Amino acid sequence: MNISGKFITFEGGEGSGKSTQVLQLARWLEEQEIEVVTTREPGGAPSAEIVRSLLVEGAVDRWQPISEILLHNAARAEHIAHTVAPAIAEGKWVISDRYADSTMAYQGYAHGFDREIIRRIHEAATGGLMPDLTLILNVSVESGLARAGKRSGDEDRYERMGPEFHERVRAGFLEIARRDPKRCCIIDAEAELETVSRSVIDAASTHLKGALP
């Protein structure tokens, strides 16, 4: 089936359910006979996964905001070059758990770093590549951190940054969606899993209906 590749991203705060919804949407797209690649950031390519551990593990104050921005975009450049761009060129649909909006929300809105500089670094690292559709899973900070706290492992550096930080992250994502409504769709992630999945599928069907078989 000759369908041009599309790039879909999931965004949202900690514990918003992105990883689950990536798999749910991928399953639905495959049922529509679309070949799908699922990936994540930071990471998504061997070299980018090396950088991931530097960002999501360790002390909360491990990095200055500019260092985080540069590390995220270094990983992103590798991710685009080795995973995202080749898959899209082959006509596959790529679904990523996080992308550039996370850098803007976390380092720009929450840490207060100059957002124009973040945009320029993104342009340099990716050639300005932005998704065809971004699904922002909106959940209260209290609920999200409670969910995230049930996960095991060492990748909890951002989770430990505190509720006020995460309130700014959430506000940042909502502002990003407000500024770019053609690309972004806010999904109520407080609902039951099946309800959230249906909302995600409905949003993808509506926004990308011309590309679906």
Q: Return the half-sphere exposure (C-beta side, CA atoms, 13 A cut-off) of residue 36.
A: 20
Euclidean distance between CA atoms 94 and 137, whole angstroms: 18
pLDDT tens figures, 154-197? 889 999 999 999 999 999 999 999 999 999 999 999 999 999 99
Task: Give the model's pLDDT for residue 213.
Answer: 73
From the number of C-beta atoms within 10 Å of its C-beta (0-12, 13-18, 19+), residue 178 rates as: exposed
Amino acid letter, 178: R
pLDDT value of residue 2:
37
Residue bearing tokens 């994502």: 173
Number of Cβ within 10 Å of residue 108's Cβ equals 25
Task: List CB contacts of 29: < 8 A, sequence separation 6 or more.
Answer: 36, 93, 95, 204
From first to last of its 213 residues, what are the pLDDT tens digits of the chain? 334 799 999 999 999 999 999 999 999 999 999 999 999 999 999 999 999 999 999 999 999 999 999 999 999 999 999 999 999 999 999 999 999 999 999 999 999 999 999 999 999 999 999 999 999 999 999 999 998 888 777 889 999 999 999 999 999 999 999 999 999 999 999 999 999 999 999 999 999 888 887
CATH 3.40.50.300 assigned to 7-207: yes
pLDDT (0 to 100) of residue 28: 97
Distance between CA atoms of residues 135 and 24, nearest Å:
13
Decide: helix, strand or coil at residue 154.
Answer: coil
Q: pLDDT above 90 covers what percent of the chain?
A: 90
